[in-house]
């Protein structure tokens, strides 16, 4: 009987406590310039253990690109990953990274524009950066 009561009490605690929530880092919603072309959200795991990390980019209108898993099922310690997409030049965007713990994650959102270099080659040039906090 004691075992049954203990099992019911444990089950009740699990039901009331719910599922643990993932921690998040996010950038502010920013706008680059009228010639912004590409948004890139980069994350690095500065910890000593691998962990599952998901990243998504969100427009000011709520359109979500992602979430995508960083580094496959887990992002190894010391590894980095990024997602990027071609963006509208009149819209602001933000980046959100989620993991079990964000204590050792660092990252940022970078906007790029196209620039023709001295050799006539079209290259990407960063124009604005916002850290994830």
Where are the domains positioned within the chain?
21-131
Give yes or no for a contact between 47 and 103, defined as CB atoms under 8 angstroms apart: yes
pLDDT band at 72 (very low <50, low <70, confident <90, very high): confident
Mean of the per-residue pLDDT values of the chain: 87
Q: What are phi and psi of 111, to 5 degrees?
A: -100, 140
As a whole number, mean pLDDT of residues 103-121 equals 96
DSSP code for 52: -
Neighbour tally for 49: CB within 10 Å: 10
The tens digit of pLDDT for each residue in 2-61 reads 543 444 444 444 444 334 558 999 999 999 999 999 999 999 999 999 999 999 999 999
Out of 2.40.170, 1.10.3470, 2.60.290, 3.30.70, which CATH number does the structure's domain 21-131 have? 2.60.290
Going through the chain in order, the beta strands assigned E by DSSP cover 23-26, 38-45, 53-59, 64-69, 80-86, 93-99, 105-116, 122-131
For 64, the 3-state DSSP assignment is strand
As a whole number, mean pLDDT of residues 83-106 equals 95
Residue 95 predicted with pLDDT over 50: yes
Residue 128 predicted with pLDDT over 60: yes
Predicted structure pTM score? 0.80
Summarize the chain as % helix, strand, coil (round to 5).
10, 50, 40
């Amino acid at each position: 009987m004691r075992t049954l009561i203990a099992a019911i009490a444990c089950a009740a605690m699990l039901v009331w406590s719910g599922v643990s929530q993932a921690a998040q880092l996010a950038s502010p919603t920013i706008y680059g310039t009228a010639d912004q072309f590409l948004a890139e959200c980069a994350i690095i795991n500065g910890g000593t253990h691998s962990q599952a990390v998901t990243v998504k980019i969100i427009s000011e209108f709520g359109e979500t690109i992602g979430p995508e898993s960083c580094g496959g099922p887990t992002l190894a310690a010391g590894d980095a990953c990024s997602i990027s997409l071609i963006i509208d030049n009149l819209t602001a965007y933000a980046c959100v990274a989620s993991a079990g713990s964000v204590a050792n994650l660092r990252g940022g959102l970078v906007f790029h524009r196209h620039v023709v270099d001295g050799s006539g080659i079209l290259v990407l040039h960063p124009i604005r950066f916002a850290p994830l906090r």
